[in-house]
Amino acid sequence: MKSRTHKQDSLVIVYDAERLEQPGPECFDPAWWRERGALIGEAQGRGSAFFLETDFGPAVLRQYLRGGQAARVSRDRYLFTGFERSRPLAEFRVLARLAEDGLPVPWPLAALCRRDGPFYTGWLLTRRIAEALPLADRIDDRHDDSDLWLTVGATIRLFHEYGLV
């Protein structure tokens, strides 16, 4: 991967220059994708994951949102301690390393960190993994499928052997 960093006013965008041209901040706005007819679906969780069909392939756009008690104070703002220490840029770099080493993770395409005073908000854009489902959905009707559990266990083991816990 050839990652590039673009700094503009109070935001930083890091992106994979081999897979897409320098994205602007609008690329991290679901409404922008919707206007272009590229937003093809959403998955709900703590927040939404937006499924996109783009010129650079199928992708997922996700905003960083807080959970638990912290969400009562601020749903999407984090204390700013530097762009490189922000969650979106850190996750972009970790995913890039894992993907390059062949682990089964979504390929990172771009990340945005926007500073607002002492806080920041962030987004991550990744390649969509074909036919991916949440584990809970996958096991819903296959809870006694030993092949599935062996595959899940082997995948978890890969990450442990890599040093991720």
Question: What domain range includes position 152?
Answer: 133-165
- Report whether pLDDT(112) > 70: yes
Asked if residue 97 and residue 81 are part of one domain, the reply reads yes
Q: Which residue has the higher pLDDT, 143 or 77?
A: 77
User: Residue written as tokens 């499928």?
Assistant: 145
Tally of structural domains, the chain: 2
Asked if residue 146 and residue 102 are part of one domain, the reply reads no
Asked if residue 32 and residue 43 are part of one domain, the reply reads yes
Asked if residue 147 and residue 116 are part of one domain, the reply reads no
Asked if residue 148 and residue 87 are part of one domain, the reply reads no
Distance CA 82, CA 123 (A): 16
- Report whether pLDDT(47) > 90: no
Specify whether the backbone of 124 is left (phi greater than 0), alpha (psi in -120 to 50) or beta.
Answer: beta
Give me the pLDDT at residue 135, please.
Answer: 83
Asked if residue 57 and residue 96 are part of one domain, the reply reads yes
> Per-residue confidence at 34, pLDDT binned at 50, 70, 90?
very high
Asked if residue 144 and residue 89 are part of one domain, the reply reads no
For residue 139, report the phi and psi dihedrals to the nearest 5 degrees: -95, -5
> Per-residue confidence at 71, pLDDT binned at 50, 70, 90?
low
Euclidean distance between the first and the last CA atom of the chain, given in angstroms as a whole number: 24
CA angle 53, 5, 10 (to 5 degrees): 95
Q: To the nearest whole percent, how much of the chain has pLDDT over 90?
A: 73
Asked if residue 71 and residue 58 are part of one domain, the reply reads yes
Asked if residue 155 and residue 106 are part of one domain, the reply reads no
Asked if residue 162 and residue 91 are part of one domain, the reply reads no
Asked if residue 142 and residue 123 are part of one domain, the reply reads no
Asked if residue 146 and residue 70 are part of one domain, the reply reads no
- Report whether pLDDT(124) > 80: yes
Least confident of 65-79, 93-107, 121-135: 65-79
For 95, the token pair is: 């995913």
- Report whether pLDDT(9) > 70: yes
